[in-house]
Structure 1
């Protein structure tokens, strides 16, 4: 009763009566065309660079907190300082980008009036509200050397919430009707977590001295492998819905991300000194390019009706033949 239709809701000519087996059509099946070529779903009203920046910086922040906690536990002070300050700077910029896209800060604060576990945006707002102060306290203690016990607790707290901060934005974009995002819900969290880990490792390679850079290198390599591997798996599974990941702005950004990731991983593994630092910068840029690519691919898939209707028809045919 009054349930909100999902991606399986019938649209266009697909709402016609299904023919019985053996029944001959009197006229040929109509080819789908949307009303005056208009999209059949509303494209997201999110804007660039605010939202892709918000997605990228949140992943960088969450993974950096985890790296900072590990560096502190292994007495890598310079790496811990870089990761903690990077995490706080990234989450501050991420919140600023989100609020700017929302239009005014009150809209973010309004989301904290209730806790709705079925809403990724609401859960994400609570995550950011809890994580931001913890990341700030950890960074303050690392920079000033004051309140070491509080700093240690804040480091542990931000590291605990860090993976969720890096991953929840994947649930946020997947919980939409945008075909290239919604249909990739299985792999998208792994892509986002891998992308965040790659960026955090890149930050460590860029800022930490060579003797302390091993954990950052390992995190960057594993993150890049997870990001690229799961993105390729998602594209293969989505079939024609994955076309926007190869064309237009989305395709350009994602091709750049692959090149930068390959260069960054190679430099991280084999490079020293300046080469290692440049590889860190390349990995950060690759992570950002991935988020921009996914953002634009989603918008393109929402604006073209075929990415909504053609897969929907295929699912209907598959169900009909399975009966």
Structure 2
């Protein structure tokens, strides 16, 4: 007689009639644009403060104005995506430390006035600068710029924490890495804007910041790709993978251009590549998260792995 098989074959993952277990985020492309613009503003604010302290007026000007314009764009995309945009001010009714959205709102509220003051100071007409208002703005511009730079890292990274605190598998499991990806991307994009718009002779700080930011972004992104479990497939397959590949190529190319560039045209092209690479990185992360909610294996398989890993401990406890 054939030997009877005692073990039940290992079950494969499945969901109820193949349907999604998690609902996909209701956010659209404007949230990805909000992530990019916020990071660009933060990176520009840090570069502008450095340019101000080292006597580079043109680099300071383009970075300050870029910081103001991008934070306004970021706020627009965020508010426009709300179900009732006219009620955006309700986000300021409470301060809840356990809520990344609440803390992010207050971080933006702390950062925004400083970025606004320095941006207005750079765009102020010359005749207005001779008035008492112009002199007052000039006096407060440097402290405001330093304040914006001090709060900028929070602006660059809080969106990664916000994504990581959702139930979306590709975002939730990437929580140790996304803040580094986003912060590096923010620094690279701010440096890219400075390289694109500032005179060649003043781009030294932007070029160094580009190399550091691009290095952090690419290293953190590669580390995330290697260390994530099955959830990492959302980043390495389909459209998110293609976007990440293009983003990495542009970011690395922009950083190399920052190192070897010896004329204005090369630096401008490198800066544009860094900006495009940073934007594609945010869209890739956003789309990977959406993709991970559509396939039930990203929910079921990790749950079963956690259950299996906990069983030996439960058995050993029961035998004691």
The structure that has the greater radius of gyration is: 2
Q: Per the alignment, in what secondary structure is the counterpart of residue 24 of structure 2?
A: coil
> Hey, what does 2:14 align to over in structure 1?
33
Q: If the length of structure 1 is used for normalisation, what is the TM-score?
A: 0.89
Report how far residue 40 of structure 1 moved.
1.0
CA distance in 2, matches of 1:320, 1:225: 41
Q: If the length of structure 2 is used for normalisation, what is the TM-score?
A: 0.90
Q: Please state if 1:260 is matched with 2:253.
A: no
Cα deviations by residue, 1:143-170 (Å, 9 ceiling, x for unpaired) = 3253211212211211111110001000
CA distance in 1, matches of 2:12, 2:235: 25
Q: Which of 23, 34, 40 is equivalent to 1:60?
A: 40
Q: Which of 70, 73, 88 is equivalent to 2:53?
A: 73
Cα deviations by residue, 1:160-203 (Å, 9 ceiling, x for unpaired) = 11110001000000001111100010011000000000000100
Report how far residue 106 of structure 1 moved.
3.4
Report how far residue 239 of structure 1 moved.
2.6
CA distance in 1, matches of 2:56, 2:257: 22
Q: Please state if 1:296 is matched with 2:287.
A: yes
> Hey, what does 1:287 align to over in structure 2?
278
- Greater CA drift, 277-286 or 103-112: 103-112
CA distance in 2, matches of 1:107, 1:320: 48
Q: Please state if 1:153 is matched with 2:165.
A: no
Structural RMSD (CA): 1.3
Q: Please state if 1:118 is matched with 2:98.
A: yes
Q: Which of 44, 47, 63 is equivalent to 2:25?
A: 44
Q: Please state if 1:108 is matched with 2:53.
A: no
Cα deviations by residue, 1:202-235 (Å, 9 ceiling, x for unpaired) = 0010011111101001111110110010111111
Q: Per the alignment, in what secondary structure is the counterpart of residue 111 of structure 1?
A: helix
Report how far residue 29 of structure 1 moved.
4.2
> Hey, what does 1:4 align to over in structure 2?
none
Q: Please state if 1:140 is matched with 2:131.
A: no
Q: Which of 195, 205, 218 is equivalent to 1:228?
A: 218
Structure 1 gaps of 5+ residues are 1-23
Asked if the contact 2:39/2:156 (under 8 Å) is kept, the reply is yes
Cα deviations by residue, 1:116-163 (Å, 9 ceiling, x for unpaired) = 011111111112222222211111112325321121221121111111
Q: Please state if 1:186 is matched with 2:176.
A: yes
> Hey, what does 1:308 align to over in structure 2?
299
CA distance in 1, matches of 2:144, 2:83: 30
> Hey, what does 1:17 align to over in structure 2?
none
Q: How many residues align?
A: 298
More helix by share: 2
